[in-house]
A and B are shown apart, each in its own frame.
Chain A
Amino acid sequence: MALSDTQTGRAPEVTSGAPPVLRLRGVTKWFPGVQALRRVDFDLRPGEVHVLFGENGAGKSTLINIVAGALRPDAGEVELRGRPVQFRSVHDARQRGISAVFQEFSLVPGLTVEENLFLGAEPTTGALINKPEMRRRAEEALRRLGFPILPRMRVNRLSRAEQQMVEIAKAFRTNLSILILDEPTAALTDRETDRLFQLVLDSKRQGVGIIYITHRMNELHRIGDRVTVLRDGGRVDTLAVRDATPEKLVELMTGRKIEAFFPRIDHRPGEELFAVEHLTAGTLVHDVSLTVRAGEIVGLAGLVGSGKSEVGRACFGLEPIRGGTVRLLGRSVGKPTPGAMLGAGLAYVPPDRRTEGLVMERSVRENIALSALPSAHFSGRVLLRRRSERAICLRLAQQLRLVPTGIERPVALFSGGNQQKVVLAKGLTRNPRVFVMDEPTTGVDVAAKTEVYTFMKDLVEREGAGILLISSDLPEILHLAHRAYVMHRGRLRAELGRAELTEQAVLSHFFETTTTHG
């Protein structure tokens, strides 16, 4: 994800004084028992990217839902091009040039791309749908956006990233004056992200105002002009992006001052804890060797699809191993399985907590305890030791500052950041020495990210653990890892020591180049 600013160039300065295309004044919204927005002022100028920043639950979603016409404010005014408006529906807002791409897709899986693009606005001749016309216009729209998708494909056959593209194409379909993007890059590869950003820049030039929600610092700096920080439903501040340092933003978001976004982690490498030699696994990973020692964080970088994720999965027994060896705490592991690896002292943090990490409907306690039930702290010969279980889970929840601390609540009710803390707490129950963390901060707000980083620092410095950090977030690798490996097309491209670990060095190994490296 992390590409340097130099690649796309800095966003041009917004001509100040241009009248805002959208203005919110004192907008307030109640949900049963919760005030989701309290007297929020917000304005959007034509041709700017206005980033909304805030913890999960700060009110970002409510705000964009009001702008998109999905929710009506309980108090306050919405002005469109200087005139007060009240949107009756999403459709109404859309008619006035406001389009939104939400995180939850609004596509019909069984229909084709073109049918989805024109759903509710099909070109017709008489009573019949004008299919050739629809095909032509769909092709044109997709070509203009540069998305390699066939209009006649059924949506449920597309990858998540492709579905995201259709969703974006749908938003670009109408005459746009305001575009709302809610974490649009979450499912996209770097290349697709580049294309999306190019589109955003094009739209800016045409005077479209863009509201952009992201948790990613580098995206903020790459395409943002101004940023508004929300906290507990209220607007804290609006500032120019060039003044928005990570530390400043976290301070605004949380109301707490932090020393550094990325903590400094001491590097005192000890004995080798984990080693992979000539690993060939699944369909992608080929001849990969790496080591992790006690007291260090080892980065594993690479583009989406480079095989870095599969290395972690293979070591945990989730991808079939076709060659090579895995060694944990000096002992060679024949055929890894999740159960055996957990028992031998390795914890794996999966990249997608919803699909692989957590049982969403069950309580925090049951989730934390799930992988540790066979151990003596959690169960006797026949029965579970529920008192001990509760005590251990409560301690871990407090250690990771779960908010709220109620460990009997279903995980589904917690915010993304706190769900991630549950995943991490779960990893601690078996007292592992080695952690394989695959994208440990995806979909986590910036404040929770700093907590995850502090957690990693404590593991390495106090417990002498070794961490293999698999991440697509380049700053994470650059700031946290003591050493890093870079993968490309299933093979190791390079190993970089701390001194060589720069953005340029890592990026140069991401893409097709002819340089060979040790």
Chain B
Amino acid sequence: MADAGLATVERRPRVGTALLRLLRRTFVHLGVLPLLLVILLVGFGTWEPRFLSRQNLFNVARQATYLTVVSMGQMIALLTGGFDLSVGVILAMTSVVLAKVMASTVASDPTAVGLAIGLGILAGLGAGTTMGIVNGIGVAVLNVSPFMMTLAMASIAFGLALFMTGGVPVYGMPSQFGATLGFGKLLGVPVPVYVTAVLVLGMYVLLNWTRMGRYFYAIGGNIKASILSGVSTRWYLFMAYVLVGFLASVGGVMLTARLETGEANIGAAMPLRSIAACVIGGVSLRGGTGRLGSVVLAAVFIEWFENGMNLVRIQSYLQMVVLGVLLIFAVVMDEVRHRYVAGMRDG
């Protein structure tokens, strides 16, 4: 169609230069993220030389792991056409349970450090994943809307976490836990980066090379068509929320190691931040589309951006304002992009 149009005698009005066309094509395929990254690198890079220092990059890499892991979970929920507002409290619940179990085990037997750490991590992951299971049952079996289910779950779990701790941080974890999983380095690279890399790889395989991943996209894109294609949509919706729970829980374990205390309010900003990372990374809020690579990049971008703002001493309150503005900007650009894509239709 396009070729036929160009081959005719009449000349079309010139729209722009080759550069402009290249920009537009990048925009249609990859969204607004590449543009933001360029602005980030050039802007902060020239403003503050420390921004691109080796030291700072490792710092950002570690700092970005938590959001990256949680955002991957959020991405699954968004792909299936829902979202998860309880990722923050899953983090908190994981943190509190893990800290309590670890502290009490090591208190009863101060030599059993390895056992305490193992048990604590398992208990934390168990608690977080259980919340994912409950979310999954609510959404997939009881047909509660993901918004209500996870919002209610956020209230329930936050209340439980506060109740268990009395609102004060849980101390008494063995220092080895924080020293390895929190601050540890292997070959100069922070340990959480390895954990995250493994999870990213696993997610990549799951989303692109397994039936489950394919079905997540299909269910979010058109659940009726998926049912008619013989996909057991309930099972996969359930599994989606279980996976969100698990991934958020891993984020909780790593963050607790970093903070060296169990806290009920560590994940408060996570729902917004993880959804922001997904949207900036081009995941559609309507479900069905989104690339893992872009989400990971967007999560890193957000952390890096905040790191840059810290370096140039922008107040943390103002940072919240900036993040909100950025999110709206990303959503608007996504709409613009949709319009471009719709213009490419044949019919």
Q: Is B345 an interface residue (CB 8 A)?
A: yes
Interface residues on A, range: 35 or more
Question: From residue 1 to 44 of chain B, which have CB atoms closer than 8 A to chain A?
Answer: 1-2, 4-6, 8, 10, 12-13, 15
A438 to B343, CA, bound (A): 30
A35 to B3, CA, bound (A): 10
- Contact across chains for B230 and A338 when beta carbons are under 8 A apart: yes
- Contact across chains for A57 and B225 when beta carbons are under 8 A apart: no
| B6 CB contacts on chain A under 8 angstroms | 33
Question: From residue 206 to 250 of chain B, which have CB atoms closer than 8 A to chain A?
Answer: 209-211, 214-215, 217-218, 221-222, 224-232
- Contact across chains for A361 and B211 when beta carbons are under 8 A apart: no
Contact mask for chain A residues 405-419; partner B; CB cutoff 8 A; 1 contact, 0 none: 000001011111010
Contact mask for chain B residues 279-320; partner A; CB cutoff 8 A; 1 contact, 0 none: 000001000110000000000000000000000000000000
Q: Is A356 an interface residue (CB 8 A)?
A: yes
| A357 CB contacts on chain B under 8 angstroms | 225, 228
Give the residue of B13, B288, B344 whose beta carbon is less than 8 angstroms from that of A30.
B13
A318 to B228, CA, bound (A): 8
- Knowing A338-B227, A343-B230, the reply to whether A33 touches B5 (Cβ < 8 A) is yes
| A340 CB contacts on chain B under 8 angstroms | 230
Q: Is A291 an interface residue (CB 8 A)?
A: no
Interface residues on B, range: 35 or more
- Contact across chains for B211 and A379 when beta carbons are under 8 A apart: yes
A370 to B229, CA, bound (A): 6
Q: Is A32 an interface residue (CB 8 A)?
A: yes
- Contact across chains for A366 and B228 when beta carbons are under 8 A apart: no
Question: From residue 487 to 502 of chain A, which have CB atoms closer than 8 A to chain B?
Answer: none
| A424 CB contacts on chain B under 8 angstroms | none
- Contact across chains for A359 and B230 when beta carbons are under 8 A apart: no
Main SS of chain A's interface residues? mixed
- Knowing A34-B2, A74-B13, A342-B230, the reply to whether A360 touches B210 (Cβ < 8 A) is no
Contact mask for chain A residues 376-418; partner B; CB cutoff 8 A; 1 contact, 0 none: 0001001110100000000000000000000000101111101
A383 to B209, CA, bound (A): 5
- Contact across chains for A338 and B218 when beta carbons are under 8 A apart: no
- Contact across chains for A35 and B12 when beta carbons are under 8 A apart: yes
Q: Of B2, B221, B227, which is in contact with the most chain A CB atoms at under 10 Å from its CB?
A: B221
- Contact across chains for B228 and A350 when beta carbons are under 8 A apart: yes
| A384 CB contacts on chain B under 8 angstroms | 209-211, 214
- Contact across chains for A418 and B346 when beta carbons are under 8 A apart: yes
- Contact across chains for B209 and A359 when beta carbons are under 8 A apart: no
- Knowing A359-B221, A361-B284, the reply to whether A366 touches B5 (Cβ < 8 A) is no
Task: Apart from A35-B5, A356-B228, A413-B341, list 5 A-B contacts with CB within 8 A.
Answer: A38-B10, A358-B222, A359-B218, A374-B230, A412-B341
Which residues of A line the B interface, CB within 8 A? 28, 30-35, 38, 56-57, 74-75, 232-233, 316, 318, 337-343, 348, 350, 355-362, 366, 369-371, 373-374, 379, 382-384, 386, 410, 412-416, 418, 426
8 closest residue pairs by CB, A with B: A359-B221, A339-B230, A415-B347, A371-B229, A56-B347, A35-B5, A415-B346, A370-B229
Which residues of B line the A interface, CB within 8 A? 1-2, 4-6, 8, 10, 12-13, 15, 205, 209-211, 214-215, 217-218, 221-222, 224-232, 284, 288-289, 341, 343-347
